[in-house]
Amino acid sequence: MAAERIAAHAKRHGLQAVRVVLHGGEPLLLSPARLRAILGCLRSAIEPSAKLRLYMQTNAVRLNESYADVLLDYQVRIGVSLDGDRLANDRHRRFANGGSSYDKVVAALALLRRPAYASLYAGILCTIDIRNDPVAVYESLLEQRPPRVDFLLPHATWDSPPPRYDARTPYADWLGKIYLRWRQDGQPMRVRLFESLLSTAAGGPTGSEQIGIGPADILVIETDGSWEQADSLKTAFDGGPETGMSVYQHSVDEVAAHPEVTRRQLGLAGLSKQCQECPLVRQCGGGLYAHRYRSGSGFDNPSVYCDDLKELVRVVNTNVAVLTHGMTEAETPVPGDLISQVGSGLGDADVLKFLCGTQLDITRALVRGVADDLGSHEMANEAWLLLQEADRLAPHATDEVLAHPYVRAWAVKALQQKDSGQRDFGYLSAIALAVALRAGMDAELALAITSERLYLPGLGTALLPGASGPSRASVENGRLTVRGVTGDRWLPVASLQAGDIEVSLDNADPYRDCHKWPPVNDLSPSEVDNWRQTFAQAWESIGTDAPEQLPGLRAGLRTLVPLQADPDGLMRASTARHAFGAVAAALADPDALAVMIVHEFQHGKLGALLDLVDLFDPAAKQLFSVGWRPDPRPVEGALQGTYAHLAVARMWHTRAVRGGPQQERATIGFKQYYHWTEDALLSLRDSSVLTPAGQELVGHMAASLALVAP
């Protein structure tokens, strides 16, 4: 009946995939034969309606080859509960006779690492006990070579708070030590909590129920057929997760309409007022729902771990690895002058390198998020294994490819399409091949060719005339070959050079369509030459009219994307929130292109800062009237426009002061942009929606504008 309810729900709502987790108690108390029967029932009932992804969470003390063979037949991915080294694990995970379970769990993990069963190994679940040495716990888990680790805060409420042993934020302190060591080691294993914090900091989705304001998507079926909410609610009060419904009388939609289930779909609106007003809410999301409980006010409270979550967010946001050629990975705190440097409208080379490093780090986390849900997709898993190996052998080659602006755009879209069945895993194969080429590795991958063009991020396009269906691509001696394709040709990404900068001219990446206007798909050799000449002249114009912008542009600008021209001859330019380092523009005269590059790069720079620092209350509803738009703008739109126009105002001021034939036009342009920026800054400064960091930024912007006051 449970399987039938799930299948009916998937069919009714057109779901491409559903996830079923066999949980506990302990699912391996079933015999292998009974387990096989249950898995067979689930597959036969659900798979006609949707792809079934099976998981199991187990203490693994009974896991052996007999169970593993059953789980392998049904492709059940296995998460194992292990709290660290022997000392840590045996605090809470002993047999009834007092004996240690550690050796049996370690033996089970060794079984999962065997090549025959490695596809089943999903990771390790570790419940935190702050009495344990965090570094020892980390090192012991790393020894088990898990694909992923998840650290769980022990269940607690305001009525039964967690032990703190006279420390204010002991859980953040404990996790922070692991985070810094994990970063220092080059993130040798995936850690769901840390990756989720990095993802939500970038505006991406959360991969953890513990944080983030995404809607809850979990229902529990008890052994008696009862529908319940997440079983963590059992720790809040007796009957906490109960709905009063069962699979025998109620559909999934009926359970989803339960008031408490509905509340957990409200996102920000479902949090307490204190949480809604907190500038960190988009990252922590109020914490785990069960941890908010307090007698009298129910779940309308922050998490009992609120202070710890705030401190952990601070640690993650202010300790980010910067990866550049010629440097080893090192923990780099946020520069002390970050707000002032960016707020001035400039940003020196060091600050831009820092922002580039944080953007690369976010992209790494998002790509790992996509890899977390590859399931049994063989080609994608093969690509992920190659990418991991390449990253181990040549991390700088991986950095170069992942720094390509549209890798993040792809990853964000893939995560948004997680349950749609439409994710483009072929782009992951393209990433892996691009890294192999850059690293000089020999490699081979299976491909599902759906187009006559195979684009490798940042490198170029292989033309595959007449190709379709399954094939294999190989990289050998720096050359890409696609088997079964005749007459293949390679079109490298064109480059634009000017002075001491080189950027790519990308008219091929399939994810560059994230801009406001459509991109150009093909460029003739003469059009490429025209872009090269115009860019060189535009760069010279920036050097003359905005020389203070050159260091930041050299450090951060990677790609120009040609846009289709406006039919009325208007200028077109765009940046995308998830494509840092790219500017899209329609070809214009050099002076106009110079302004567009500076203007759009400012948007990217401020977006990178917003990934790290909360500048305004994300729940703010206030709209701002601005001179450059007829419609009132939300706070982020107003702040972005003001910041970009500050740089343009300074640029027009320099042109006006210089004089010459265009002085009158430059003076008019300067006055317009100056007053637009001045008025918007006053509105932002006088509002109540900016955080202290946002007020500081606006103050530096105002000081920078005052330097060119008429």
Mean pLDDT of 597-620: 91
CB-count burial class (<10 Å; 0-12, 13-18, 19+) for 599: buried
92, 152 Cβ separation under 8 angstroms: no
The 10s digit of each residue's pLDDT in 202-234 is 666 666 778 867 677 789 999 899 999 888 888
Give 486's pLDDT tier (boundaries 50, 70, 90).
low
**Residue 323 scores a pLDDT above 50:** no
DSSP 8-state symbol, 679: H
Q: Rounded to whole angstroms, how far apart are CA atoms 227 and 251?
A: 9
Q: Rounded to whole angstroms, how far apart are CA atoms 532 and 544?
A: 19
Tell me, what's the pLDDT at 190? Answer: 84
Tell me, what's the pLDDT at 479? Answer: 86
**Residue 336 scores a pLDDT above 80:** no
**Residue 326 scores a pLDDT above 50:** no
Lowest mean pLDDT among 206-210, 296-300, 392-396, 591-595: 206-210
**Residue 322 scores a pLDDT above 50:** no
Most confident of 171-180, 461-470, 607-616: 171-180
DSSP lists the bridge partners of residue 473 as 445, 482
**Residue 74 scores a pLDDT above 60:** yes
Q: Rounded to whole angstroms, how far apart are CA atoms 605 and 609?
A: 6
Mean pLDDT of 650-679: 92
35, 68 Cβ separation under 8 angstroms: no
What are the two backbone dihedrals, phi and then psi, of residue 363, each rounded to the nearest 5 degrees? Answer: -60, -40
Residue that wins the pLDDT comparison between 317 and 81: 81
Q: Is the previous residue joined to 25 through a cis bond, with omega within 30 degrees of 0?
A: yes
Q: Rounded to whole angstroms, how far apart are CA atoms 394 and 658?
A: 49
**Residue 587 scores a pLDDT above 80:** yes
**Residue 324 scores a pLDDT above 80:** no
Q: Rounded to whole angstroms, how far apart are CA atoms 388 and 186?
A: 12
Torsion of CA 617, 269, 302, 203, to 10 degrees: -50
Q: Record the tokens describing residue 151, joined without a space.
A: 């650290």
Q: Rounded to whole angstroms, how far apart are CA atoms 59 and 72?
A: 18
Q: Which one-letter amino acid corresponds to residue 453? A: R
The rounded mean pLDDT for the chain is 88
Tell me, what's the pLDDT at 112? Answer: 93
Query: According to CATH, where is 3.20.20.70 located in the chain?
Result: 1-152
Query: Domain 1-152: which topology?
Result: TIM Barrel (3.20.20)
Q: Which one-letter amino acid corresponds to residue 61? A: V
- Nearest residue to 84 via CA among 178, 202, 6: 178
Q: Rounded to whole angstroms, how far apart are CA atoms 175 and 181?
A: 10
**Residue 550 scores a pLDDT above 80:** yes
Determine which helix (DSSP H) or strand (DSSP E) holds 112, and give its type and residue range: helix 102-113
Tokens 């959360």 -> residue: 206
**Residue 639 scores a pLDDT above 90:** yes
Angle between the 590-610 and 525-545 helix axes, to the nearest 10 degrees? 70
Give 581's pLDDT tier (boundaries 50, 70, 90).
very high
Q: Rounded to whole angstroms, how far apart are CA atoms 205 and 412?
A: 8
Q: Rounded to whole angstroms, how far apart are CA atoms 345 and 709?
A: 15
Distance of CA 579 to the CA centre of its chain: 12
Mean pLDDT of 144-166: 92
586, 562 Cβ separation under 8 angstroms: yes
Residue that wins the pLDDT comparison between 395 and 132: 132
Please provide the DSSP assignment of 459-497 as one string.
TEEEE-TT--EEEEEEEETTEEEETT-SS-EEEEPEEEE
Tell me, what's the pLDDT at 202? Answer: 61
- Torsion-angle region of 599 (φ positive above 0: left; ψ -120 to 50: alpha; else: beta): alpha
**Residue 142 scores a pLDDT above 80:** yes
Q: First-to-last CA distance in the chain?
A: 76
What residues contact residue 208 under an 8 Å CB cut-off, 6+ apart? Answer: 150, 192, 193, 196
Tell me, what's the pLDDT at 433? Answer: 95
20, 6 Cβ separation under 8 angstroms: yes
If DSSP codes are grouped into helix, strand and coil, which group holds residue 188?
coil
If DSSP codes are grouped into helix, strand and coil, which group holds residue 388?
helix
pLDDT over 90, % of the chain: 56
Mean pLDDT of 437-443: 89
Mean pLDDT of 506-522: 93
**Residue 503 scores a pLDDT above 90:** yes
DSSP 8-state symbol, 565: P
Q: Rounded to whole angstroms, how far apart are CA atoms 458 and 438?
A: 10
The 10s digit of each residue's pLDDT in 368-425 is 888 877 877 888 889 998 898 888 888 889 999 999 999 999 999 998 887 666 788 8
Q: Rounded to whole angstroms, how far apart are CA atoms 293 and 155?
A: 11
